[in-house]
Structure 1
Amino acid sequence: MQLFNLSLKLNGFDINRAKSALSAIQSKNDSEFESYVGQQKNAIITYHLKHNPFYKSLGTSINLNDWNSVPIMTKNHLQQPLEQRLSAGYTSKNVYVNKTSGSSGDPFIFAKDKWCHAMTWAQIMDRFSWYGIDFNSSKQARFYGIPLDKKGYYKERLKDYFSNRFRFSVFDLSDESLEKALAKFKTSKFDYINGYTSSIVQFAKYLKSHNLKLKSICPSLKACIVTSEMLFDDDKLLMENQFGVPVINEYGASELDLIAFQNINDEWQVNSDTLYVEILDEHNNVLPYGKEGRIVITSLYNKAHPFIRYDIGDIGILSEESSIKKPILKKLIGRSNDIIVLPSGKKAAGLTFYYITKSVIEDDGNVSEFIVEQLKLDSFIISYVSKFELSETQKAKIKNEVILYLEPNITINFKRLDKLQRAKSGKLKQFTSHIN
């Protein structure tokens, strides 16, 4: 019985029709696909200019023949009640409503019409099928957060049941908790792991410390899909070694769709079927493939709520090998609101600092997790969880690496904790600036 498809249908999401529509889009040749994208861009703007007062007030200078005249939307535009942002004919009763995690610092409630949300699920199911995963039959080991209030908790557990998945807590990553997780893998035929990168990395570290290979414990396991947090090369290697299955990188946004998904050729393939993705410079000019800039996305199907040239807050690069039908995300650098600004005026992506530190701080397996925060222009704090206190030699080595890669006259303090503070969603933010 296809419980997952049934649950979508019961909620008004016509998944079978959406799958057929997606298949028709993907079957187009390059020329047909380019025409399709142009038509969808024009159609979604025209619709919102006609039916959405919120967007009409934002797009007063739009020339439908000039895509560059379309304004850039930001999360700040959306900091108003949802009812004021919905298109005519849509209410909170007849749309899919959710809330962003707030990892960017600007949480907000958003909506999708039911057809748009059905297309979202069609896209997700299509990508997962690349690795032999069927949402109706494949069992998922889920490393995600869960609401702690009674109503929210049981609602998620019910969704887990219909989605054929078992959820592990990401709020307790102690050895005792991970030992229980391992016991569940011994008795369950999980097909794949899915969840937050940092939590799954901790499970891999636990397995390594006990010299265990998950595939030998759970032979049914086919793949591990990580999402919501940065995936570093050494963490991917660790997980693949300990799990014995491919580790797949997913990039998405709840208000939009699945944005990019690692294909079987190890390319981070961008979703061009339901989204239109651009890379822009600081003056909102479109950058050529291979250049670093802001990721700006248009949702081609959401009639309930406009997401048109929406600045998601991330910085990335599209590969020079990209095409309009098959864009490839060469690199996801991090959030634009978490940029290191140094006393000299020099700027760097926050994850640069994190990456430099990571190569030193985890080299002996003592430190299990850490985060970096910028308190002032010249002041940083590294909070970490470890078996033993970092030695003065280790601290000095980290400081020297930071000076080498960034600049001198920077103060770095260290704070050892029993566990790191996660967001309510369960995500771990690896770098945060408190000065921007």
Structure 2
Amino acid sequence: MRLPSILYPVEQAFRYLYGALPFSWRAGAQYRRLRRFLSEAQWWDAERIREWQTERLGWMIRYAYENVPGYRHLYEKAGITPADFGTLEDLPAFPLLEKSFVQTDIRAFTSRSVSPRNLTYLTTGGSTGVPVGFYHTRVNRWMEDAFMHAGWEWGGWIPDQKTLTLRGWFQGTPKRFFWYNPLRRELHLSTYYLTVETYPQYFQIAKQFAPLFIQAYPSAMTFFSRLILERGDAGVLQPRVIFLASETIYPWQRELIARAFPTARIFAHYGHTEQAGLGHWCEYIDQYHFWPFYGYLELLDSQGNPVPLGQVGEIVVTSFWNYGTPWIRYRTGDLGILAGNFCSACGRNFPILSNVQGRIQEFLISQYGRLVSFTALNVHNDLFDHVWQFQFYQDTPGKVTLKLLPRSEFSKNDLNRIQQEMSSKLGEDFSLETVCVEQIPLTPRGKFKVIEQKCSLDWIKETIE
């Protein structure tokens, strides 16, 4: 029910007063208990973590079997029951969960033990073509905050400080592209309306707000940084930390952002809307430390076998906290490289991914089925200096369109050079067309995709090992 307009000022005043209270107090007792647990458990030895995970996994498997018809069907079809799980080594015997299973019948994968009033419907971003719908419960709210804040603290985060966000949470309008949330002391700038023309307004608002922290999509922060450097505004905004997430982070993006914000530390984490796996960089190294108390991580090849250290595998996760739609051995479609299960720099016994290479959809496909990641194209020189943004579009194997959003100084020579160098890097089994465009649309969630992949990807998973 909407409040009468006369009461809006009263409501807003209450939000500001309530937001002035410490977040840990407002978040509730469950949040505080979990934060205390994480502050201690992050230093447990490997054996104690395994014991905790074994107990939690056994409980989640029993919960899903008893309350979620889709899991009972999967397990009965595989001839397996919760009684067959006793150690972590038993987990591979349980079936993998495909996105399509939940897409096809969300009711079958929704817990019967949770009241509909305690369910919140969400969807994934739809990077596989069709968004996957699922349910969270109230547990996900305080749980996610507790883990996120514990991980951000490794990067220098402090609670109750001003934060600027450039993410898809807030869309706004062309005339109202910012919104302040006093409950979290966050100023949201819409990624949908950030352009060369609107940059002065965005920058002035950010400057007046003077945030201590910035949260952003890497693509949005890259574009904002390009504009800052172009206008000679580098170093004016001085956040302590820039937190990046939700997209693949490329080295050239980090370099560009660091030039625009020379005083800021760049800190990243891996996560997704499903809240089944979460990894932060630590205080000392820029590698993803996956929380063993958030979910159980597996890195598998195309045959479902664990990959050795240093090899690329698909990230498969089991959530310990999702009771609405449980995720057990869930294939995320994301790819990572396993670096080990212990960080000698920080001392945590966490699974470490040296790199998250992005989604399976972030590859280009040659006419012979060869896969080329954006990272492999090695865009580290001045090739795109006269371009605001660029995007690879593909709907047919072997044929790629490179879309360029040109800057004022862009010339025919730039176009020819980009065409020649990128054709050479892609190889002879690709046909490349380079075109200039006036706009490169964002996704419904306000993200910018470097590769817009429209080819069928069912067979691609079989080629990634």
1:384 aligns with 2:404: yes
How many Å apart are 1:352 and its aligned residue?
4.1
TM-score, with normalisation over the residues of structure 2?
0.82
- Report the counterpart of residue 182 of structure 2 in structure 1: 161
- 3-state secondary structure, aligned to 2:130: coil
Q: State the distance in 1 between where 2:107 and 2:33 align.
A: 28
User: Conserved in 2, the CA contact under 8 Å of 1:293 and 1:317?
Assistant: yes
1:139 aligns with 2:139: no
1:264 aligns with 2:288: no
- Report the counterpart of residue 247 of structure 1 in structure 2: 266
- Report the counterpart of residue 192 of structure 2 in structure 1: 171
- Report the counterpart of residue 21 of structure 1 in structure 2: 37
How many Å apart are 1:260 and its aligned residue?
1.8
Superposition pairs of residues 322-401 of structure 1, within 5 angstroms: 322=342, 325-349=349-373, 351-352=374-375, 355-356=377-378, 358-359=379-380, 363=383, 365-388=385-408, 391-401=411-421
1:95 aligns with 2:113: no
Q: State the distance in 2 between where 1:409 and 1:129 align.
A: 47
Quick one: which amino acid aligns to residue 18 of structure 1?
Answer: L
User: Conserved in 2, the CA contact under 8 Å of 1:139 and 1:192?
Assistant: yes
* CA distance 1:163–1:257, shift in 2 (3 Å): farther
Q: State the distance in 2 between where 1:54 and 1:265 align.
A: 42
- Report the counterpart of residue 430 of structure 2 in structure 1: 410
Quick one: which amino acid aligns to residue 211 of structure 2?
Answer: F
- 3-state secondary structure, aligned to 2:118: coil
Q: Deviation digits for residues 9-56 of structure 1, max 9, x if unmatched?
A: 4xxx83122223333432422221121112211221121112211211
- Report the counterpart of residue 285 of structure 1 in structure 2: 305
User: Conserved in 1, the CA contact under 8 Å of 2:137 and 2:323?
Assistant: yes
How many Å apart are 1:428 and its aligned residue?
1.1
Aligned pairs, number: 421
1:304 aligns with 2:324: yes
Q: CA RMSD in A?
A: 2.7
Q: State the distance in 2 between where 1:416 and 1:434 align.
A: 20
1:231 aligns with 2:255: no
1:38 aligns with 2:61: no
How many Å apart are 1:377 and its aligned residue?
2.2
Over the matched positions of the two proteins, sequence identity in percent amounts to 20
- Structure 1 residue runs of 5 or longer lacking an equivalent are none
How many Å apart are 1:207 and its aligned residue?
1.6
Match of 2:92 among 51, 68, 75: 68
- 3-state secondary structure, aligned to 2:435: strand
Quick one: which amino acid aligns to residue 411 of structure 1?
Answer: S
* CA distance 1:202–1:237, shift in 2 (3 Å): same
- 3-state secondary structure, aligned to 2:351: coil
Quick one: which amino acid aligns to residue 234 of structure 2?
Answer: K
Quick one: which amino acid aligns to residue 435 of structure 2?
Answer: K
How many Å apart are 1:117 and its aligned residue?
3.8
- Report the counterpart of residue 206 of structure 1 in structure 2: 227
- 3-state secondary structure, aligned to 1:306: coil
- Structure 2 residue runs of 5 or longer lacking an equivalent are 1-19, 457-465
* CA distance 1:411–1:81, shift in 2 (3 Å): same
How many Å apart are 1:401 and its aligned residue?
3.5
How many Å apart are 1:368 and its aligned residue?
1.0
